[in-house]
Amino acid sequence: MTSIHKMGSGLEQGSVFHLQGDLVPPEVLKLRADLLGTTSPSVLLYAGLDGWRRQMALHGKELMGGALDLVTELRSAIERIEGLHVEGRDDFCGPGLAYDFDPLQVIIDLDGLRITGFQAADWLRAERRIEAHLADHRRLGAQITHGDDRETTGELLSALRDLARVAPELRPAPRVEVPAPAELRLAQARSPRDAFFGAAENVPVKKAAGRIAAEMVTPYPPGIPAVLPGERLTEPVLRYLRTGKAAGMNLPDPSHPELETIRVLETGEE
């Protein structure tokens, strides 16, 4: 599946399935897609998808080949900036990891500058009017597409060089207490439906360990919920969310925007 709104020329929410071979029967794929599809689809989305399909059929090798050449130059240039590391296949691919890597995603590790991705994104936005694609507690992400050229990548490269120069002047990086992967897996104490629709109350996050969540909390990136309704909250996950929020983490979905409280099942419902 390809999100055309991320790497192609489609509108937001535009995505397509790629089907070849006989691994998945076309009729089965259609039935399952229909379970989630609307009966009133947007004509604009479909027109955008078809326009992208035609563009790729006629000029895809030229456009995407140019983007790949451009990003190869950019990745090498960023890697030469002291304090920055551009992550690639060696960082993400291998046994038990990803099968392959999209080089158009320029993921920059900022550990050598001792600043967070949140700080870097804020600085780029405020000082150079560049909006980072993604940012977390240690990385900054930029996405290169066939719409870029040496002028746009040059602006990014110049800004990153300036960022590396001023990084020592930025405030000390707030510490985000990221749990081990095993600690991020919360026990499912109630079904998501029962927890979401059950009698609930808001309690201070610092006192919520051991309670059953009645809402979802999703750090973005990566856009994967750290808390789902029905899961029993633990101190490591709550501390991760609290320290992350304090450092600049984007939490789009909790009922309290600043995560001072969290929605949990009432004691009698647990």
* Backbone region of residue 139 per phi and psi (left: phi > 0; alpha: psi in -120 to 50; beta: other values): beta
As given in the structure block, the two tokens for residue 200 are: 């609930």
pLDDT at residue number 269:
64
Question: What are the helix (H) ranges across 100-191?
Answer: 117-128, 150-166
As given in the structure block, the two tokens for residue 204 are: 């201070």
Please tell me the distance from the alpha carbon of residue 7 to that of residue 50, in angstroms, as a whole number: 15
Look up the pTM and report it: 0.86
Residue type, 21: G
Span 13-55, pLDDT tens digits: 888 888 888 888 999 999 988 888 888 989 999 999 999 999 9
CATH 3.90.100.10 intervals, the chain: 181-269
| β-pair type (105-109, 85-87) | antiparallel
CA distances from 171 to 109, 187, 247 (A): 18, 37, 11
pLDDT at residue number 113:
96
CATH, domain range 2-169: 3.90.1150.150
**181-269 CATH pick, 3.90.100.10, 3.40.50.300, 3.40.190.10, 3.10.310.30:** 3.90.100.10
Burial per residue of 160-175, b for 16 or more beta-carbon CB atoms within 10 angstroms, e otherwise: beebbeebeebeebbe
pLDDT at residue number 270:
66
Mean pLDDT by 10 residues, the chain (270 residues): 81 87 89 87 91 93 96 97 95 87 94 96 96 94 94 97 96 91 95 96 96 96 94 97 95 95 86
Three-class DSSP category at 213: strand
Span 65-97, pLDDT tens digits: 999 999 999 999 999 999 999 999 988 888 888
pLDDT at residue number 2:
81
